[in-house]
Structure 1
Amino acid sequence: MTAVSTISASSFRKLLLGALVGATAVTALPAQAQEEVNVYSYRQAYLIEPFLKEFTEETGVKVNVVFAKQGLAERLKREGRNTPADVLLTVDVGRLQELVDEELVKSVNDEVIEANLPAQYHGPENQWFGITTRARVLYTSVDRLEAGQVSSYDDLADPSLKGRVCSRAGDHPYNVALIASRIAHNGEEATREWLEGFKNNLARKPQGGDRDQIKAIRDNVCDVAIGNSYYYGKMLDNDEQRPWAEKARIEFPDQNGVGTHMNISGMAMTKYAPHEENALNLMRFLTEKTAQHMYAEVNFEYPANPEAESSELLTSWGEFKQDDLSLTEVAKYRKRAAQMVNEVGFNQ
């Protein structure tokens, strides 16, 4: 089992002195303040600290955070009824569904949250909620392809692109969710055929992360790649990586079909939350326009609340049709999608 990283009280005091987060209310667990809420987070500190500080300033409720890369579900299971955690923040519908499957979270039936978030971003029985969205997009070479020449996920399997496509591992959660959505839309047989065609078009063995695929376009390794939209924003905002991104354009697939596949970052209230009222208030806050816009600005993710303002960069990419398939439906096919990746030898 992978150890869960934590921030000690002394280390966090040094962090404060280092002015990383200034006078933020975020600290390490456990804490003893009466008006508090405890968060376990897979999201990085720089992403969530700004709006947690804003929450504390608005409500007076102190937010204590444990940051981790993995292992939080296992930690919650170990802690059981004695867990100090109230809210868990994570990415990908798969991780959220894992919490449901392990019976680690509870239903939250709240009119404010439900009004702020479209139904497709509600988990089964409101046991989780999406708070930001990211599009699974296509990146295409600005030098070797015309805009719109590759416009659908189906095109990834088109024989005309043989040896011209790059991807990270097929069993990465981002790709598994996309494959699961295609199973939901098209059935297993058609999805398997598509995945085999996708594999046959790969320019190299799947490797690296989403940014590495864009770099591969710059390096003439491939002409088409698949990745999450926010990585493109991050690269444009990075002096070293901007030249990579400028060699690729972002394309939102299937605008004449079901729309572009969307995944989420999300939140859930733990089953034994000791500060349930404060947890609910925090979850409400995270769906409101202020926090939603802050998230969008910091990490180039789309607000899940349709009334929240997006970042200027994302707005410049224009509006696009999003696949409105329920992510609960996507989660249902994730296991089969992962199996299919292995069956076709996608990563080999």
Structure 2
Amino acid sequence: MVDNTRRAVLRVGVGLGGVGLAGCTGRFTGQTDGGTLGNPEFAEGRPDPDGPTMDDLPDLGGEVTVYSGRSEQRVGELIDHIEDRYDDLTVDVRYADSADLVNAILTEEGTPADIYYTTESGTLTFLKEEGYTETMPEDVLELCPEEFRDPDDQWMGLTRRSWAVAFNTDRFEASDIPEGIMEFPESEVAGEMGWAPFRGSTQAFVTAMRVIHGEEETREWIEGMLDAGLRTYEGGRSDLAQATGSGEIGASLYNHYIVRGNLDMPIDVTYTRNDAGVVPIVPGACVMDASDDHETAVNFIGHWASAEAQEYFATTTWEYPVSPHVEPLDVLPDRDELEPPEIDLNDLADIETTLELLRDLDVL
């Protein structure tokens, strides 16, 4: 349910029950031999996803190596499903933090990676600018709207997340949360907030703030939040969610799907408007220039943009599909109810300046 009087708020009733993680069974269009994909609980009652299906895409064969900055818990089931679909396809996946994978690519002599898949677009742009990526064909790129892909045709987004403010409903109401992210240091919630600055998505948020609001204002914002009592959680998403839900802190800066897996806790989510607080974070993929089989690699990425895969992301990771033919979960605000700032996703590539700022402020 969405509160349209002020801002989009994610509301989840306790009757929904727990959320299964990737690896559980589910349903998808075109399932064969009883095979299923995704989370059945949140797929129930949804229309079959529209748009190109895996059956509409070229068959896959050969060997593909994927460097995945997205965890096996999130995407392993989908990758395994694609591999199992084709008898002549072998997929080797290396799961690690995106930054570690980029460093590996930079130091490897002829990286074995055919595909780099990451949680946010900044490292995709970095690899493009360093000359490690290959131009992708239009018939695959067109599976993703232009605003979520590289204008130079070097990478494409596969899902979209929104930065958001999670809050403990026993401590705050949505009306207590400022509408503008730059107002937070002076707000009543600032002293009860936490964040996870070691996470790539948090660093993308700070980078967006630098791009939109300027480096000096970003520095002042971080200093103001720290002075107010902003707490750092090194464990990342799970620790931050637990701390928010338990009341250890009253609110946190987080991805919009914080309530996923925490439906038994008093957590809700609200959004700022037209600023870094609601910047889109786009997980995506590129084909490596060193790939031995560009065609198979690019068509493998195309399978992640298929109707079945987009439905998988919607019901399993709670992300917004990039496909306009597949709707997000109805517990999330509609796409047109969010008011993200206009920003070139390639501008989020300068993570190093963000890291220097965070180190200078003793955040990292």
Q: TM-score range by the shorter chain?
A: 0.7 to 0.9
SS in 2 for 1:163: helix
Aligned identity (percent) is 21
Using the alignment, how far apart are the partners of 2:84 and 2:287 within structure 1? Answer: 22
Residue aligning to 1:160: 188
TM-aligned CA deviation for residue 49 of structure 1: 4.1
Of structures 1 and 2, the one with the larger relative CO (CA 8 A, separation 6+) is 2
Using the alignment, how far apart are the partners of 1:316 and 1:120 within structure 2? Answer: 17
The letter of the residue matching 1:39 is V
User: Relative to structure 1, is the Cα distance of residues 91 and 205 closer, same or farther in structure 2, using a 3 angstrom cutoff?
Assistant: closer
User: Relative to structure 1, is the Cα distance of residues 78 and 305 closer, same or farther in structure 2, using a 3 angstrom cutoff?
Assistant: same
Contact 2:273–2:338 (Cα < 8 Å) also in 1: no
The letter of the residue matching 1:235 is N
Using the alignment, how far apart are the partners of 2:193 and 2:234 within structure 1? Answer: 12
TM-aligned CA deviation for residue 269 of structure 1: 0.3
SS in 1 for 2:122: helix
What is the 5 A alignment of 1:1-348? 35-55=62-82, 62-70=89-97, 71-77=100-106, 80-81=109-110, 83-108=111-136, 110-123=137-150, 125-150=152-177, 151-169=179-197, 171-236=198-263, 242-243=264-265, 247-254=266-273, 260-314=278-332, 319-332=337-350, 334-346=351-363
TM-aligned CA deviation for residue 210 of structure 1: 2.8
Listed as ranges, the gaps of 5+ residues in structure 1 are 1-18, 25-32, 237-241
Deviations 1:78-129 (A, max 9, x none): 5544x54322222222332343344322222x22333232333223622222
TM-aligned CA deviation for residue 276 of structure 1: 1.5
Contact 1:253–1:259 (Cα < 8 Å) also in 2: yes
TM-aligned CA deviation for residue 147 of structure 1: 1.7
Q: How many pairs does the alignment contain?
A: 308
Using the alignment, how far apart are the partners of 2:304 and 2:190 within structure 1? Answer: 44
Contact 2:72–2:95 (Cα < 8 Å) also in 1: no
TM-aligned CA deviation for residue 175 of structure 1: 1.8
Contact 1:39–1:63 (Cα < 8 Å) also in 2: no
Structure 1 vs Structure 2 CA RMSD:
3.3
Listed as ranges, the gaps of 5+ residues in structure 2 are 1-22, 26-32, 36-59
The letter of the residue matching 1:48 is V
Contact 2:63–2:92 (Cα < 8 Å) also in 1: no
Contact 2:257–2:319 (Cα < 8 Å) also in 1: yes
Whichever structure has more helix as a proportion of its residues is: 1
Using the alignment, how far apart are the partners of 2:291 and 2:356 within structure 1? Answer: 35
TM-aligned CA deviation for residue 323 of structure 1: 3.2
Using the alignment, how far apart are the partners of 1:189 and 1:273 within structure 2? Answer: 41
Using the alignment, how far apart are the partners of 2:239 and 2:76 within structure 1? Answer: 28
What TM-score comes out, normalization by structure 2 length?
0.72
Deviations 1:245-270 (A, max 9, x none): xx221112226x67711212211101
Deviations 1:132-171 (A, max 9, x none): 12111101221232223213322331253352221223x5
SS in 2 for 1:43: coil
Contact 1:159–1:197 (Cα < 8 Å) also in 2: no
The letter of the residue matching 2:312 is M
Contact 2:83–2:91 (Cα < 8 Å) also in 1: no
What TM-score comes out, normalization by structure 1 length?
0.75
